[in-house]
Amino acid sequence: MGKRALLLINRHSRKGEKSLPLAVEYFYSHDLELIIKPVKHPDELGIVVREYQHQIDFVIVGGGDGTLNAIVDSLVATNLPLGILPLGTANDLARTLNIPLTMKEACDVIGKGKLKSIDLGRVNGKYFFNVASMGLSVDITEKLSRGMKRRWGILAYGITALQVISSTRRFRATIKVDGEVFNVKTIQIAIGNGLYYGGGMAIAEDAAIDDQRLDLYSIELKHWWQIFPLIWGLPKGHHHQLDWVRSIEGKEIEIYTHKSYNINTDGEITTITPAKFKVIPHALNVFVP
């Protein structure tokens, strides 16, 4: 390729520490020149990208969805393409883009140089790849520890969900989708840009990361037993078939609540309600198979 890339690996990610030497070896075999910059905290990622933006052709990020979420705003600002090394627990963006989860194959995808233009979601000025949500998912995020993710992998999400669901309470919200208004009482609202979130669950059966729309669902269950068919339907995106799950799609979404609720984007708590969401078509170029 004869190009120069900034390589950033989150060494705190599930497989990050062991992956750097392998990644360097594979990329050198693709005739790729690397700038390797150690980053101690995700907040520093955007600063590093802006610092080196005029010296590089693209950015390679090794980590999970949270690491990618931390860098997405700087990628949009600098208009640099993204290469992904899926080293996290869920790796939902990699799944959405069919990027292999093994190191050599993921490096080969970047080395071959095929780019795809993808959409991004944006909430209150913050970009996201996969999903933004509030309610139950935030409770899970706040309780889910790094140690549990390292120990149990994707199973950590299910274990934590079972721990918090009994204490989760419904909240009232007003949802506006492309001008249409819905008043709901819900335990979770999720707005997806891509296909997968939460370790491989589908936001909607036919969702895609380049369909120029957002997919919303609101879980409005009234009885505890309704959680069981929900658990069955969520992984494949079949939850829209349940009477107590509201599913809507649109380009612009607003959510208002009586008190402020935290919102997580790609698994990281980044903003609060009231919230304005928008799909940004063709916002970023990413290396894909």
Please report where in the chains the tokens 């071959």 appear, as a residue: 112
- Is a pLDDT exceeding 60 seen at residue 188? yes
Residue 265's pLDDT band (cuts 50, 70, 90): very high
Share of the chain above pLDDT 70, in %: 79
CA dihedral 126, 132, 135, 136 (to 10 degrees): -140
User: For residue range 13-36, what is the model confidence (pLDDT) as tens digits?
Assistant: 555 567 778 888 889 888 899 999
Burial of 183 per CB tally in 10 Å (0-12, 13-18, 19+):
exposed
The three-point CA angle 264-265-267 to 5° equals: 70
Among 47-56, 161-170, 181-190, 278-287, which stretch is predicted with the lowest mean pLDDT? 161-170
CA dihedral 41, 124, 263, 95 (to 10 degrees): -70
Q: What is the pLDDT of residue 150?
A: 55
Residue 267's closest CA among 184, 192, 186? 192
Residue 247's closest CA among 196, 198, 191, 209? 191
Q: Return the exposure string of 93-125: e unless at least 16 CB atoms fall within 10 Å of the residue's CB, then b.
A: bbbbbebeeebeebbbbbbeeeebebbbbbbee
Q: What is the pLDDT of residue 10?
A: 73
- When pLDDT is averaged across residues 85-90 and rounded to a whole number, the result is 87
Alpha carbon distance 53, 6 (integer Å) = 9
Neighbour count for residue 78 (Cβ, 10 Å): 15
- Is a pLDDT exceeding 90 seen at residue 152? no
User: For residue range 37-74, what is the model confidence (pLDDT) as tens digits?
Assistant: 877 788 899 999 999 999 999 999 998 898 999 999 99
Please report where in the chains the tokens 């700087």 appear, as a residue: 74
Among 17-21, 44-48, 140-144, 190-194, which stretch is predicted with the lowest mean pLDDT? 140-144
Continuous segment of H or E residues that includes residue 3: none
Share of the chain above pLDDT 90, in %: 57
More confident residue, 70 or 233: 70
- Number of alpha helices (DSSP H) and beta strands (DSSP E) in the chain: 9, 18
Q: For the chain, what's the residue count?
A: 289
The three-point CA angle 211-229-275 to 5° equals: 45
Cα distances from 213 to residues 110, 176, 238, 277, in angstroms, run 27, 15, 18, 11
Largest pairwise CA distance in the chain: 60
Q: Where are the alpha helices (DSSP H) in the chain?
A: 16-29, 45-52, 65-78, 92-96, 103-112, 136-143, 146-152, 155-164, 227-233
Residue 222 makes CB contacts below 8 A (sequence gap 6+) with 244
